[in-house]
Amino acid sequence: TILSRFIGSLFAGLAVMAWTARASEAGRAREAIVLGLTILNGLSAVVAVLAALSGVFNALAWGQAGLYALFTVFFVIAGRASMSPRARAS
């Protein structure tokens, strides 16, 4: 469907953004990208859990919810490890 194509385009753009920023120096832009990806995955985990609980999807929705939650944890860890010294001092 067209909605699936729009969502696929969104995730492709996010993947390119994250891939090109992966080796950038610590700074506000990289912190903003990590924060945005953390929020995206966290909210996606919540939506997937709600979908699994409501019965909209089958049991496979729990795997998707788990992956989003795992990515959220990884982005939190990466965000803390890669914060600029200025942000760490605050």
pLDDT digits (tens, 9 = 90+) for 47-84: 989 988 998 888 888 998 999 999 999 999 988 877 65
pLDDT tens digits for 12-31? 998 998 888 888 787 888 88
Tell me what the mean pLDDT of segment 32-52 comes to.
91
Task: Calculate mean pLDDT across residues 29-35.
Answer: 87
Is residue 90 scored above 60 in pLDDT?
Answer: no
Find the helix or strand (DSSP H, E) in which 16 lies: helix 2-21
Task: Report yes or no on whether pTM surpasses 0.95.
Answer: no
